[in-house]
Amino acid sequence: MKKILFIILPVLLMLACNRLAEKPSEEASPVSAQTISTLTDALIETHGEASSFRIERGISQAASLWRSSDGSVEDFEAFVLENFIADPAELDLVFDRMATYLENIYGYNNRMTIELNRIIHEDRGPIHKLDQVFGAYSPTAHLQEDLYNNKVAFIVALNFPYYSLEEKNELGGEWDARQWGFARLGEMFTARVPPRLLQEMNEIYSAGRLYISEYNIFAGQLLNEAGEKRFPEDMKLLAHWNIRDEIKSNYALEDGLEKQEMLYNVMLHIIRQDIPKQVINNPAYQWNPFTNELFRDGQAVECEPEDLERYEHLLANFQALRNVDPYYPNLDTYIKRRFDADMEIPLEEVEALFREYAASPLLREVGQIISRRLGRPLRPFDLWYDGFTSRSSIPEDDLTHITQQRYPTPKDFDNDLPRILREAGFQNQTAEFIASKVDVDPARGSGHAWGASMRDMPSHLRTRIGPNGMDYKGYNIAVHEFGHNVEQTISLQMVDNYMINGVPNTAFTEALAFMLQSRDLQFLGMQQDNPMKETLDVLDIFWDNYEMMGVSLVDMTVWKWLYDHPEATSAELKEAVIRIATDIWNEYYADVFGESDIPLLAIYSHMIQSPLYLMNYPYGRLIMFQLEDYYRGKDFAAETQRIFSLGRLTPRHWMERAVGQQISNQPIFQAVEKAVGVIKEQS
């Protein structure tokens, strides 16, 4: 699943901008270029050429943000002359004080948001419309403007220079942690988005998350072509996560193929939106996903297709995010803000990396290995082939029996977190400390990790826990989310200063989450002594990431299409998504799977609830692979603490300091080529 990086979406949009921004022309700054030049000359004369860079950049940055409502031009001049800090000792003091105040502001606002969303995100009974109102409320919608109004934002803009991504990549190799903190503080106030737009974005985002969190399919009510039920009566699967994971779990079962075909057809109906509305989050109907026939109490009833709701949520997200584009003239699309500013890797670079991966001829060879292992041609749902992992030979019911016995309640999993960390190699004191900063909650949706924004607050781990306890799916997700919590704790509690808390982007936290998730059986005390384990693990990661490259390419291409067609309707968007998913399948998957025109890559729920999030997964797996390779022969816990306490550098500098190399497909390509050779030798 994923770490919540859209916890407070408006705040993140505010912080993400890494370009100086002016207001749209009707609200342009009243400060002229001549005024900026005169002030710059005056300050340089007073403080000397040594301060010229900070003076020039600070005055320009503050001027670009100043409005008439902030004061006259004379007021701006007085503000600059009174508030520019030349003394390094005073600047250090202001930085430390600013970090303390901002930690409290963002920390408590984050806490408020958590509390306002508990009913929405946690399994705490039926959702009332009042819960939706409070869940959609953003405590931070006016925070940005408040900090401009009280001039805090201008003090920051004036004294802490903004650096472009290119400058950070060029200069950051020589920066220490405090200099990185200065740079991160300097990029906090670079745009002014009206509070009403921030609140609107939060409402739309909240509605999309709620829609997805309750998109359950009752598998026990699915019928095969003979009209028979094949799943346990009480099985409830959240789309897409649990449906995908149920497909994975059936590779170990004799009747697994038929059940996989049923679930695959469920996915296709969701994508095409001809799924009957009656079967969504409702166990009262029986549904044949092969024929799309609907029954109630054995009697055929008329299907009412969902039609467009899925794509209406996606379109609403686009429209809300597009509304703030004018406030970011140099990052004037959400795509640019998401990649150039938030991810700090240009879309073109990410897309090229993914296309290189998806086009690798090694995938055809691995596909042929899978086909031989299955004893049949590949089917599209074999995107989620799970047979390389040790657990694939263990029936999921057996694993669920273990996890339900061990974790009947969220508290039981919470209490076991220190032991899990000790199993991963952490010293007892560190394990107890990290675990003390995590609270476990029962998830209404698939599960997520919601990080703290201040050191005195815990992060939250949420996963599904049924009335009989935590099943294996929930446990596997919980271990993944706990990986996020471990990163969140280390990168908040153990960094040099608050302003660099976190990691370069979400892909880096996904890397650690995947690393812990891959050890889930180890944490259950199940030994994996297969001599082929290392070879099979490489193939598993490679194949798993093949799927994620495709869904990410769909996500990115859909957003490019939206910006090319800003007036599109939800019906047109639906057609475009299906066409894009099919085109990418035909380009990179049809040859491997032997089937064309398959829209399966459009199934991921992230597209609906978390705009442009999906690329973090495949990028995170590439980082994970390089980290695992680097960790080989080293102390896992010690290296994890060292690496994830580096803080929020740019990806380039983080990777250099962490493992001494940049993100690339080549390490995994080389490992897969070797693994394929081992398999060939044994066959």
Summarize pLDDT for 133-142 with one digit per residue, the tens. Answer: 888 888 888 8
Residues 28 and 155 in one domain: yes
Give the total number of structural domains in the chain. Answer: 4
Residue 2, pLDDT above cutoff 70: no
Q: What is the pLDDT of residue 18?
A: 37
Q: Are 559 and 613 in contact (CB under 8 A)?
A: no
End residue of a domain, out of 158, 191, 224: 191
For residue 206, being part of any structural domain is answered with no
End residue of a domain, out of 494, 523, 552: 523
Residues 557 and 670 in one domain: yes
Residues 380 and 462 in one domain: no
Least confident segment among 24-38, 215-229, 514-528: 24-38
Residue 378, pLDDT above cutoff 60: yes
Q: What is the pLDDT of residue 393?
A: 66
Domain that holds residue 642: 311-387+530-682
Least confident segment among 84-93, 465-474, 547-556, 599-608: 465-474
Q: How does the average pLDDT of the chain come out, rounded?
A: 92
Residues 43 and 109 in one domain: yes
For residue 648, being part of any structural domain is answered with yes
Nearest Cα to Cα of residue 189 among 108, 112, 98: 98
Residues 283 and 347 in one domain: no
Residue 20, pLDDT above cutoff 70: no
Residues 321 and 303 in one domain: no
Q: What is the pLDDT of residue 15?
A: 37
Helices (H) and strands (E) in the chain, counts: 32, 9
Q: What is the DSSP string of 403-459?
A: HHHH-SSHHHHHHHHHHHHHHTT--HHHHHHHHHTEEEEEBSSSEEEE--SSTTS-E
For residue 203, being part of any structural domain is answered with no
Q: Are 469 and 403 in contact (CB under 8 A)?
A: yes
Residues 367 and 236 in one domain: no
Residue 308, pLDDT above cutoff 50: yes
For residue 31, being part of any structural domain is answered with yes
Residues contacting residue 107 through CB under 8 Å, at least 6 positions apart: 452, 453, 454, 455, 456, 457
Residues 433 and 511 in one domain: yes
Average pLDDT over residues 537-564: 97
pTM: 0.86
Q: What is the pLDDT of residue 8?
A: 34
For residue 503, being part of any structural domain is answered with yes
Residue 12, pLDDT above cutoff 60: no
Least confident segment among 257-261, 388-392, 634-638: 388-392
Residues 103 and 7 in one domain: yes
Residues 460 and 429 in one domain: yes
Residue 375, pLDDT above cutoff 50: yes
Judged by DSSP in three states, 605 sits in: coil
Residues 72 and 185 in one domain: yes
For residue 555, being part of any structural domain is answered with yes
Token look-up 């060029």 returns 170
Residues 606 and 519 in one domain: no
Percent of the chain exceeding pLDDT 70 equals: 95
